[in-house]
Structure formats: structure tokens, C-alpha cells
Amino acid sequence: MSSPTPGTSIPPLYILLAGGTTVLWLWTRKPADPVPPLVEVDGLWSYYATAYRFIKNSSDLILQAYVRDRHGVFRIPRLFRWDYLANGADRVAEVAAAREDVLSFMHGVDETLQVSYMMGSEIRDNPYHHHTVQTTLTRNLARCFPQVKDEIVCAFDDVLSLKDEEWKPFAVLPGAMKVVARTTNRLFVGLPLCRNQEYLNISIRYTIAVFKRCHILSLFPHWIRPVIGPLMSPKKEADRHKLGPDWPDKPNDLISWLMQDAAPADKTVPALAHRVLIVNMAAIHTSTMALVNVLFDLTTYPSHIQPMREEVERVIMQEGWTKAALNSMHLVDSFIRESQRLNGSSPVVAKDGFRFSDGTFIPFGSYLATSGRAVQHDAENYERPETFDGFRFARMREELEQNADHAVFKNHMISTSPTHLVFGYGRHACPGRFFAATELKAMLAHILITYDVKSDEGRPVEYSFGRVRTASPTATILIRKRQ
């Protein structure tokens, strides 16, 4: 590359870079904000070094800030702005209680998942599917459970294809994703579409694309996203595939439930197909990660297997293999909740200026996150928080039941609280968690009574990118038919 010589004009790119860097430098030095940074930042270099560390592994930095002040508020240097982090259960409760026009959850989700570009602005502006999932879908769970359970059995059978008594390596993440996609879609679209490979591939590819690309896009400044966003959107790729023609006529499934809530303009086949894809995206990635972690915890802490097996067999013998029977599987419920406590990541919450009750102020237009992971690893909230104790919630439940304490309901897998943020908290808590719990509990119960699992290696290391942590995509466990 040639350098500018005397007499030649400086290339505009250099001016742009120099100008941009100066503006950034001045901007990042903004002295007005009294909220302390996550770690000490004393210049452009340390600002970007911290921003980079945050992209590589946010958990350690968040934990450092949490140890410094477990009820504090901190600034996080990102590539093009400061974000904010609120620590501790009290602040989580305060954030969750704020009205949408004060702290906009939808803008928070838009920023995290890049909804407008990845899914389309209509999904952000009219998320009526949240209501459908929360109400009609959840109400139909007991009625649809026999089909869901049938699909769990068939999907594991097909994906594992165990032929003899031998141990077989099972690639957990891709395998779990196939089982989850099929089971979820047995409820969403029914047979035969839920087993149609092309349809499942579209749902899985779309989910992976959204979760990968949204994090990359969110690294860019807002002003350039309208240019890059449409190029990165997986929406068109999915739309190109034909989802419509072979959908069943009048089944009791997600499509018919969505049609009850959709405005007339949203009742077209492409619009409904797109919504089904969106709900798939919300359901598949999250439930797959939960199942993957459950399997890793099962093989890492195998002493939990026998007591859970006995519980599942006893309950099924007494009550049958029903959705109601899942309510009596307290150890299974507790095991999954514990796995989520240690492995779940924290959701991002909001936008817009906000003043906490102690006067701490978050400036207008900034993004605020809560430190869910740190809260869930805090000894103030959990005894021996770093220890995996699969039955801790079952024991808490028993004690509270004995004392006829209403707080018993606070320790179920679906219960949300400021100290357990896996499904979020407050009015935006995950509306699909009742289905997720049904599906995951039925899956774990089925695995326990049908298969033996083990691993000769330790718990696989997680990958992390910014605030997102993901299970190893290549790790395997060993599995065989139960002996």
C-alpha cells in the first residue's frame, strides 16, 4: 500500500478513520456519567480491550463487577456505545416492574435478536404470537400430550437408531436439536409435517442462522444496520421454500391457534408460515440447549440417575404416562431447574432512560441488562451455589410443603423469580415455558427409563460470545438401550 507523499491529498478513508476514532475517543471519555465502568477504563486502548474481552467472554467480567458490588449498576464498553448492567435481585425486580414505555422490553429484544432484520419488522411491531403461545397453546398441552409423548419416543428411536446392546456415541447438540425440532413441531403442525425433513431443516437452519447472525449484526453501529441487516437476514432464504400447500386442513395445532389471534391481514399462508417459523425459532434453540445441558449433567453427576428412574417408574405405574403425572415427578423437575440455574444465560431487558429507586440513572437510549448468571451463582441466593445439586429444589419443595408454605410454588421448573432468571421475569417472562417444561420433563423421564447414558470425559467446555454461552457443538456422550 502506498503512503501519501508531500503534495498528494490524504485519502478520504484516512480522514474518515481519523475523524471516527477521535469522535469515538471523545465520546467514550464522556465524563458526565457517574455510573462506574465494568472494569477501570482510562483511554481508548483499554476501552476497546475491555469491549473485546466482553465479546470473547462476558461472564468473567460480569462476575468481577458482581463481586465488586452485588447490588451495583455498571457501564459496559461495547464497540460503539456503553451498555448498562444492573446487579442483584432487587434491581431485577425493579427493572421487571417498569412499564414498557419506561423500559422497552421489545426494543431490548430487537437489539439482542435483531428482530427487524432477522425476522421482519412486523414481528417486532405486532408480536401477537406471544399471546397465542401463552394462552391457547398452553391450555392445549394436556390434550395434546399423548401426541407429544409419542413423538418423543419415535424421535429418540430414529435419531439414536440403537441396534444392539452396545454403547453408541451420541453427538449431543445436533442430535438433541433434531429430537426437539420434531417433538415441538408435533404440537405446532402435527403429522406428517413434523417429520418432513425439508420442513425440519428449514426450521433448524432458520433458528441457527438467526442466533448466529443476530450477534454479529449487533456488533455494528445502528446507522449501518439498514445496509448490512437485509443482506444478513435469513428470512428471505426461509421464505423461498414452500411451506404452505401441504399443511393439514383443520387440526388443533399452532396454525389454527395463531389464526384465532391474527388480524385479517396476518391470516395469509405466507404470514402464518412465517409466524410458525418465528415460534419455532423461540422454542428450538432454547429447549435444545436445555436438553443438551441436562444430558451433560446426567453423565457428569450420574448418582442422580437411579433416584429419578425410581420416581418416574413409580409415578407412571400409579398415574399413567400423562401430562398430569409429570407434576408428580419432583426430582426430574428439580434436576432440570438446577441444570438451568447453572447453565442458563441472562436475558437483556431494555432501552430508554431509567432511574432506580436509589437514584442511579441510566441515560436515555441505552441498553440495560441484568446479571442473571451471577445472581444464580450467588451464595446469598443459593447454598453452595457452584455445586450441582440436582435435587436441591425438590428438597426445598418438600420442606415448604411440610410447613404448608405457599412459597412451595416458587421452586418449580416453570417458576420465575428475581433469583432465577432462566425464563426471564415479570410480564415478559417466557410464555412458552409451560410447554418447554412439559416437553423437557417428558424427554428426561423417557431417557431415564429407556436408555443408559454415560461419558468417559468430563463436562464439555462451553463456548461464549458476548453475553451468549452455548454448549459444545461437537461433544458426545455414550448411550445404549437400558440393560
User: Per the annotation, where are the binding residues for heme?
Assistant: 430
Return the number of the residue (47 or 84) whose C-beta is nearest ligand HEM: 84
Q: How far is the CB of 148 from ligand HEM (least distance, A)?
A: 11
Is residue 471 involved in binding ligand HEM (CB under 6 A)? no
Q: Between 47 and 425, name the residue whose CB sits nearer to ligand HEM.
A: 425
Q: Kindly identify the residues of this chain, within the stretch 185-244, that bind ligand HEM according to CB under 6 A.
A: none
Which of 86, 282, 369, 443 contacts ligand HEM by CB under 6 A? 282
Is residue 331 part of the contact set for ligand HEM (CB under 6 A)? no
Long-range CB contacts for residues 365-368, cutoff 8 Å, separation at least 24: 366/81, 366/82, 366/83, 366/84, 367/81, 367/83, 367/84, 367/108, 367/111, 368/83, 368/84, 368/85, 368/86, 368/95, 368/103, 368/108
How many residues touch ligand HEM under the rule CB under 6 A: the total is 24
- Report the residue number, 194 or 283, with the smaller CB distance to ligand HEM: 283
Amino acid of residue 256? S
- Of 380, 355, 374, 323, nearest to 34 by C-alpha is 355
Which segment (42-50, 221-229, 230-238, 417-425) binds ligand HEM by CB under 6 A?
417-425
CA dist 156 → 67, 150, 208, 385 (Å): 43, 10, 21, 33
x/- letters, 93..122, toward ligand HEM (CB under 6 A): ----------------x-------------
Residue (49 or 414) nearer to ligand HEM, CB: 414
- Is the preceding omega at residue 192 within 30 degrees of 0, hence cis? yes
418 close to 93: Cβ distance less than 8 angstroms: yes
Question: Closest CB to ligand HEM among 51 and 187?
Answer: 187
Closer of 130 and 212 to ligand HEM (Cβ): 130
CA distance 286 to 470: 10
Burial annotation 392-406 (CB, 10 A radius, 16+ → b, else e): bbbebbeebeeeeee
Cite the annotated binding site by residue number. Answer: 430
Stretch that binds ligand HEM, among 140-148, 264-272, 285-293, 326-334 (CB under 6 A): 285-293
Give the whole-angstrom CA distance, residue 108 versus residue 367. Answer: 7
Window 7 to 46, contacts with ligand HEM (CB under 6 A): none
Q: Which stretch binds ligand HEM (CB under 6 A): 11-19, 27-35, 74-82, 278-286?
A: 278-286
Q: Whose Cβ is closer to ligand HEM: residue 129's or residue 178's?
A: 129
From candidates 88, 175, 418, 424, binder to ligand HEM by CB under 6 A:
424
Cβ neighbours of 102 (radius 10 Å): 14
DSSP H helical ranges for 166-234: 172-188, 197-217, 225-232
Q: With contact defined as beta carbons under 8 Å apart, do 465 and 112 qualify?
A: no
- If the CB atoms of residues 129 and 373 are measured against ligand HEM, the closer one turns out to be 129
Of 346-375, binders to ligand HEM (CB under 6 A) are: 347
Residue 278 identity (one-letter amino acid) = I
Choose one: 55-63, 197-205, 232-240, 284-292; the region binding ligand HEM (CB under 6 A): 284-292
Range in contact with ligand HEM (rule: CB under 6 A) among 146-154, 217-225, 241-249, 419-427: 419-427
**Interacting span for ligand HEM (CB under 6 A) from 44-52, 78-86, 126-134, 218-226:** 126-134
Instruction: Choose one: 40-48, 161-169, 392-400, 422-430; the region binding ligand HEM (CB under 6 A).
Output: 422-430
Q: How many CA atoms lie within 13 A of 165 on its CB side?
A: 1
Q: Does 124 bind ligand HEM (CB under 6 A)?
A: no
Full strand arrangement of the beta sheet holding 476-481: 168-171, 476-481, 451-454
**Binding residues among 425-454 for ligand HEM as defined by CB under 6 A:** 425, 428-433, 435-436
Stretch that binds ligand HEM, among 76-84, 87-95, 257-265, 424-432 (CB under 6 A): 424-432
C-beta of 473: minimal distance to ligand HEM in Å? 18
Instruction: Single out the residue of 116, 218, 287, 411 in contact with ligand HEM (rule: CB under 6 A).
Output: 287
Q: Which of 155, 176, 194, 283 binds ligand HEM (CB under 6 A)?
A: 283
Q: Binders of ligand HEM among 127-146, rule CB under 6 A?
A: 127, 129-130, 133
Name which of 77 and 432 has its Cβ closer to ligand HEM.
432
Question: Is residue 81 classed as helix, strand or coil in its secondary structure?
Answer: coil
How many residues are given for the chain? 483
Give the integer Cα–Cα distance in Å for 242 and 258. 19
CA distance 78 to 63: 17
Chain centroid offset of residue 386 CA = 21
SS3 171: strand
Query: To 5 degrees, how large is the angle CA 460–CA 463–CA 468?
Result: 130
Q: Which of 210, 273, 329, 422 binds ligand HEM (CB under 6 A)?
A: 422
Phi-psi region at 71: left, alpha or beta (left = phi > 0; alpha = psi -120 to 50):
alpha
Element (H, E) at 77: strand 73-77
The footprint of ligand HEM (CB under 6 A) covers 109, 127, 129-130, 133, 279, 282-283, 286-287, 290, 347, 422-425, 428-433, 435-436
